[in-house]
Structure 1
Amino acid sequence: DIHLMVKEPINWLKKCQFIEASRIVGQVEMMSDSEKFISSIKDMGTEAGLAFDIDTPIVDIPAETDLILIMGRKMGFTPETLDENIYDKIKQAKSFGKLVALDGGASLENFDKLKESGVDIIYSYHNYFDLINYGKDD
């Protein structure tokens, strides 16, 4: 997956073609036309997604969208503490009938609650090794 967190992510799609990613996601706060962004990716034969900062309302999801990605905390901020509003945000995103992903803030402490909220995919960096061993006996 490629998550384009750049101004006008549509301008980066030609470069993404050579990587052969299975999915390309763009940050809605950084684009002027989400429908054109999604249709351009679909024309490449690739799955397409839109990413939303925790404070951005999830509205106007183009029908061709495959994935809604929600940032689990304010973009660019660390440490990776999960914003408590995420659970309502996940429920809102699920109402569109798309895959829902979370980027940032997942940990052993909130993993069960995230699963219960309906999130389909969790992108994890800092807590990756803790999460891949979740539920396994030592």
Structure 2
Amino acid sequence: MTVRIAPSILTADFANLEHELGRIATADLVHVDVMDNHFVPNLTFGQRMVESLQRVSPLPLDIHLMIDDPDRWAPGYAEAGAYSVTFHAEAVADAVSLARRLRDIGARAGIAVKPGTPIEPYLELLHEFDQVLVMTVEPGFGGQSFIESTMPKLVALRAAVAATGLDIWLQVDGGITERSIAIAAEAGADTFVAGSSVFNVGEPHMQIALLRAAASAHVH
């Protein structure tokens, strides 16, 4: 199974984002947290920022929409050239229709669930998505601690994905360190968002290598 590392620029130096993107060029994706101060109590990037990042990023953009009304706003991010657009199950009105629209535009379609949101209602809809994101912290702020009680969702997702035979990525986001990435990989994740543990400790390329090795040793 392929391990993918997606550093979150939420903890990068916003004044030097092009330089920061260059520092994580050995990763697989750039994770961009879009927050609207409504769905979550924080305000970050919008579509214009994503368009600017798209022009200078050496890696594909993995957009995570922590916003209200993604049915209205998500397609714009796909049209801006994002590789992957993930919206929240708790905020969307029609997840299947939105996922199909994102795919039609040319982006990978992802659905995210908060730590307290059950995954079971979505297991029969997996074929509609390219990625499922299991939040391992409460969405809104970086630097939180990994919530290990979310791991049974990944176990259930991995079994369900295996049954479909489809290439559906299972992503985790929140509190990812060398220790927690091994736990998440063992549970079934293959795509890992890491912010503080990449940008705030040592050289980002070295941290990416350490995280990749830790995950690779535990993926099935």
| Cα distance in structure 1, aligned partners of 2:132 and 2:160 | 9
Unaligned runs of 5+ in 2: 1-61, 162-167, 199-203, 215-220
Report the counterpart of residue 132 of structure 1 in structure 2. Answer: 208
Shift in Å, 1:19: 2.4
Deviates more, 1:51-60 or 1:17-26: 17-26
Identity over aligned pairs, percent: 24
> Hey, what's the Cα distance between the residues in 1 that align with 2:103 and 2:160?
18
In structure 2, what is the Cα distance between the partners aligned to 1:51 and 1:70?
6
CA distance in 2, matches of 1:17, 1:99: 18
CA distance in 1, matches of 2:207, 2:174: 13
Please give the residue correspondences for 1:1-138 in structure 2 after superposition, counting only pairs within 5 Å.
1-58=62-119, 59-60=121-122, 61-77=125-141, 79-97=143-161, 98-128=168-198, 129=204, 131-134=207-210, 135=213
Q: SS at the partner of 2:71?
A: helix
1:49–1:67 contact (8 Å) kept in structure 2:
yes
Aligned-pair distance for 1:45?
A: 2.0
Q: CA distance change for structure 1 residues 62 and 37 in 2, over 3 Å: closer, same or farther?
A: farther
Distance 2:152 2:207 in 1: 22
Q: How far off is 1:25 after superposition?
A: 0.6
Which residue in 1 is equivalent to 2:10? none
* TM-score, length of structure 2 as denominator length: 0.56
- 1:107–1:131: 8 Å Cα contact kept in structure 2? no
**TM-score scaled by length of structure 1:** 0.87
In structure 1, what is the equivalent of residue 5 of structure 2? none
Deviation, 1:6, is 0.8
Distance in 2 separating the partners of 1:86 and 1:108? 17
1:99-132 superposed Cα distances (whole Å, 9 cap, x missing partner): 1000111112222222222211001111123741
Question: How far apart are residue 38 of structure 1 and its match?
Answer: 0.7
1:56-111 C-alpha deviation (Å, 9 max, x unpaired): 01123352211100111112255421112122121122233131000111112222
Note the C-alpha offset of 1:8: 1.4
Change (3 A) 1:45 1:80: same
Which stretches in structure 1 are left out of the alignment for 5+ residues?
none
d(CA) in 2 for partners of 1:13 and 1:77?
21
What do you get for the CA RMSD once the two structures are aligned? Answer: 2.0
Name whichever structure is richer in helix by fraction.
Answer: 2
**8 A Cα contact 2:78 2:106, kept in partner:** no
What one-letter code is carried by the residue in structure 2 that aligns with 1:92?
Answer: A
